[in-house]
Amino acid sequence: MSFHQISATFATHIHNMEKNLFKIVFRLVCAGIFILTNVAPISGKDFTVVIDAGHGGHDPGAIGKISKEKNINLNVALQLGKNIQKNCKDVKVIYTRKTDVFIPLNRRAEIANEAKADLFISIHTNSVAQGKIVRGAETFTLGLARSEANLEIAKRENSVILIEDDYKQRYAGFNPNSSESYIMFEFIQDKHMEQSVKLAKLVQGQFRNHAKRIDRGVHQAGFLVLRATTMPSVLVELGYISTPDEERYLNSQEGINKLAEGIYRAFLKYKEEHEKPILAAAGKYSDKSVNTEAAPESNEPVIASNAKQTGIKTVESASASTTNSKPVFKIQILTSSKPLKSNDKELKGLSPVNYYKENGIYKYTYGESTDYNKILQMKNSIINKFKDAFIIAFRDGEKTDVRKAIAEFKKTRK
């Protein structure tokens, strides 16, 4: 071995070490990202939507002349998520995929179930056999297909399980290509059917009126991915990749934007409905039930101790924050890195306001009640001034999971 060889070997060795080091760092970064994206942060978000871009990786979905379904789905999914995140600070957006990767069908549903999502939106692009021309968008909910064409769409979308390992065990012998397999969808009890159909109709309305697409309507079919989710769920077919003009539209920035906006607007409308007051089982909502049961033994109120020094007025001093372990709802209106004076123009004249401190940030709230409905009404009354306002919950002075608090409120109202 010459000196030249030795130095070359040494150089290779160093190079490999660098590569290994790079790999290790890369894995650590990936693990970090994984943890960051998979551990639900403690947040005041009170609505979670899972956006599912169909197919990905070695599953291209339907294939057109100039594009693949997986990419169209992902483009619209990402744009939809962007729209929601930009405009709805109270909504948590979770994607089943943000890149071109393969995700098994069941895993997509699991992601939504584990996140206890409020809504699942699966995005796909349609296709028919060569020689046929079909145009338009349609939205599906889970159920028994009432037409051969709809059954064919479910078969095509479900057949992706055939490229998963162990699909027979995983889907209990379901054969996506056999019509007999779909009989089970006749007996499915879907308690979210009504809400799913509501969203599906809203989506189609937006596709028709906003995106100016041909409206192919709302249908039911036996989609495995919808069967496995435990929340209102829809599967959107954006258009036909097999029809050249539709394929061009689906790949254009205008097409992506309009379709994503359409779903976004439908989502907003649906969410507004979702936020309607929670009715007691009796079906009546009386304002009298509003938080008159504030505990007499007034403990530490939720307000920060230096509130007075900063000139912030507190909510009525016999605060409702002390209703032993009952969740207290408030509206978070804004955050600030420094305390604000009660006449600060950021507060837009709203009074009385309050604040709590979290991670060194002053978070300003308005309203306080154990009655979620009352707080919701209050939120609606200030939303013009504070469009990003959202509801949060406290228990015994500590911030708590608002979704659990709402669930508890619902239960105790029955």
Residues making contact with Zn ion (CB under 5 A): 54, 61, 124, 157
Q: Residue 124 CB, nearest distance to Zn ion (Å)?
A: 3
Q: Residue 157 CB, nearest distance to Zn ion (Å)?
A: 5
Closer to Zn ion by Cβ: residue 157 or 246: 157
Nearest to 234 by CA among 221, 250, 246, 247: 221
Q: Residue 70 CB, nearest distance to Zn ion (Å)?
A: 8
Region for 200 from its dihedrals, namely left if φ exceeds 0, alpha if ψ lies in -120 to 50, beta otherwise: alpha
Strand partners, 47: 91
Q: Residue 54 CB, nearest distance to Zn ion (Å)?
A: 4
Q: Residue 110 CB, nearest distance to Zn ion (Å)?
A: 18
Task: Please return the burial class of 398, using the count of CB atoms within 10 Å of its CB with bins 0-12, 13-18 and 19+.
Answer: exposed
Contact 105, 166 (CB under 8 A): no
Closer to Zn ion by Cβ: residue 150 or 373: 150
Are β-strands 328-336 and 390-395 bridged in parallel, bridged antiparallel, or unpaired? antiparallel
For the chain, helix, strand, coil in percent to 5 are 45, 20, 40
In our burial notation (b when 16+ CB lie closer than 10 A, e otherwise), range 49-83 reads bbbbbbbbeebbbbebeebbbbbbbbbbbbbbbeb
Q: Residue 242 CB, nearest distance to Zn ion (Å)?
A: 12
Nearest to 232 by CA among 187, 262, 274, 263: 274
In a 13 Å sphere around the CA of 322, the CA atoms on its Cβ side amount to 14
Closer to Zn ion by Cβ: residue 225 or 402: 225
In this chain, which residue has its C-beta nearest to Zn ion? 124
Closer to Zn ion by Cβ: residue 72 or 93: 72
Closer to Zn ion by Cβ: residue 126 or 196: 126
Closer to Zn ion by Cβ: residue 228 or 375: 228
